[in-house]
Amino acid sequence: MNKTTRKWLWIALSSLTTFFLMKNSFEFPFEFSFDLRQVPLILGCLYVGYPAAFLGVLSIFVFHYFLYSDLFLNPFAITLISIFAPFISQSFHELSLEKKMYTATSIAMGSAFITFLTAVPFTYLFKEMDTVLGFIFVQGATTSIGLVIMELIQFHRDEYKIKATHIKV
C-alpha cells in the first residue's frame, strides 16, 4: 500500500472512528459526557497532518450536529488542535516514542485546559466541585487511552519496518 493510500485510509478511519466514539458516549452522573472524540483528531493531526485535521474537525462538527443538535459544543479546543497539531506533524515522525508521548500528552492537556477555560463562561457545568473533578477524570482518561493507542500504532509501525527490512534482505 503506498503512502497516499495509507494517508486517505487513515483519514477515513479517523472520521469513522470519531462518529462511533461520539455515538457511543458515556454519560456520567455529574452531567458530563465522555466520548473520546479528540483521540482520533489528535492522532490524525500528528500522524497525517492538515488533511486529517480538516476532515477531522468537519466530521466532529457534522456528527455533533446530527447526533446532539441541542447540546453545547465547545469549538475552541478542537479548532486549536486542528491548527497547531498538524504544524508539528513532519517533525513528529522523527521523534522517539517517549517524545511522541510527551507531545501528544501536551496537546491533549492543552486542549483540556482550553476547553475548561472556554466552557466556564458558557455553561453552568462547573458550578459544583463534582463536575470539575469529573472533567479532570474524563480528560485524564481520554489522554491515557490516546497514549495507549499511540503506543500500539508505533509498535505496529516498527513491526512493519522490521518486516520490510527482512523482505528486502
Q: Where are the domains of the chain?
A: 3-168
Q: pLDDT-based confidence at 52, cuts 50/70/90?
A: confident
| Confidence at 120, pLDDT banded by 50, 70, 90 | low
Whether 18 shows a pLDDT value over 70: the answer reads yes
Distance CA 155, CA 143 (A): 18
Contact, 55 vs 8, CB < 8 A? no
pTM, two decimals, is: 0.72
CA distance 79 to 81: 5
Query: Which cell goes with 27?
Result: 454519560
**Which CATH fold would you assign to the domain 3-168?**
Arp2/3 complex 21 kDa subunit ARPC3 (1.10.1760)
One-character DSSP codes across 15-44: HHHHHHHHHTPEEETTTEEE--THHHHHHH
Mean pLDDT for the stretch of residues 57-85: 76
CA–CA distance from 103 to each of 26, 38, 127 (Å)?
A: 27, 15, 31
Measure the CA–CA gap between 43 and 47, rounded to whole angstroms: 6
- Mean pLDDT calculated for residue range 76-101: 83
Q: CA 122 to CA 19: how far, in whole Å?
A: 25
pLDDT for the residue 2: 80
The predicted structure's pLDDT at residue 34: 65
* 78 vs 138, higher pLDDT: 78
